[in-house]
Chains A and B, each alone.
Chain A
Amino acid sequence: MNKISKTTILGFCLCLLVLILFDTASAQVGTVTGVVLNRGNVPIPGLIVSLVHPVAGRSYPISTDSWGRFFFSNVPLRNDPYYLEIYWGRDLMYRNTVIVNRDINMGNIMLR
């Protein structure tokens, strides 16, 4: 009886540990940066950039700055891919997958 109780307590503690570890992992966030250029390698300012995931939802849309740069912070880390979307106004210009399991620099993204 005493052995069963110990096993039960041990199992409970293990479950709690797994839950805590899972919770810690799910709270981790990363950054995604990049630069958007046109075919003449000229940075494109004012594009709307958004990260979207079928389950995690969509990020707050941001816009590229005068140098075509964008920066997302607080992106929940995941092992399945996000979609990075780039809009000219409401027109979708670019969509590609990106796995954000750490801080990601996407480098130059060419719209051609």
Chain B
Amino acid sequence: MTAFDVVIILGGVCGLLMVVGGMILLYKGAISLNKASKKDAVSLEFKKMIKVTTQYPALGLFIIGLAFIISAAMFSKPTGVSPLKIQGHVNVPDPSSVTIFVSAGRWSLEPFTDGTIKGLIHPSLGLLKVEITAPGYIPPTITKSIGTEDIKFGVVSLGEIAFGNRIVEKPLINPDNIKTPTEHLPPLTEGGKF
């Protein structure tokens, strides 16, 4: 949990306390929603830009509390990364055999002289690597780097991807080569643990 998370939680809790506390004080009669006289009106001013005056001071508790809750909710909203559409065309007779992996860029860190690793990175989609692999072809993998300048309105065009000559045809699937697992194995799509 980061310091930011703590601030967000505290902001939310403060807001809730102010709202619930205000309601309790209203119930007990410590404060009232009666209209105050003009000279007792509460006035809030921010840098001579915004000025709010109310003759219902009790409402201030609710408004300030709600402001805490709303701001905490707004700041804690996850900053979603915009989806990216990748399109292109692969020019091989059997496109279903082609595998495409997209990975984010690499960030380098250098350890200190005593071996300590300490660094700050800003993960972003600034640099993506697209690896297109076609079995049996040489070279088998075509790698394309995508920078921010290649992204146009959320779309990346890989263009026409052509491989060289196929030197090996697909072997027949031999069931003797495939050992049946004794336990459940995660699917191929769940790669990336090590």
Interface residues of A (CB under 8 A from B): 29, 38-39, 42-48, 50-52, 54, 56-61, 63-66, 74-76, 83, 85, 87-97, 111-112
Interface residues of B (CB under 8 A from A): 94, 96-99, 101, 131, 133-141, 167-168, 170-171, 173-174, 177-179, 181, 183-186, 188, 190-194
Q: What would 11 more interface pairs be, CB under 8 Å, given A45-B140, A52-B185?
A: A45-B136, A45-B139, A46-B136, A48-B135, A56-B194, A59-B191, A75-B194, A88-B135, A89-B135, A91-B170, A93-B177
Contact B133 A63 (CB under 8 A): yes
Name the A residues within 8 Å of B185 (CB-CB). 52, 54, 58, 83
Contact B191 A95 (CB under 8 A): no
Contact B139 A66 (CB under 8 A): yes
How many residue pairs between the two chains, A and B, have CB atoms under 8 Å in the bound complex? 122
Output the nearest chain B residue to A61 by Cβ-Cβ distance.
Answer: B191
- Chain A, interface SS category: strand
Output the nearest chain A residue to B184 by Cβ-Cβ distance.
Answer: A54
Contact A93 B191 (CB under 8 A): no
Contact A89 B96 (CB under 8 A): yes
Closest 4 pairs between A and B when the two form their complex, measured CB to CB:
A46-B140, A57-B193, A89-B97, A45-B140
Measured CA separation A88–B177 after assembly (Å): 13
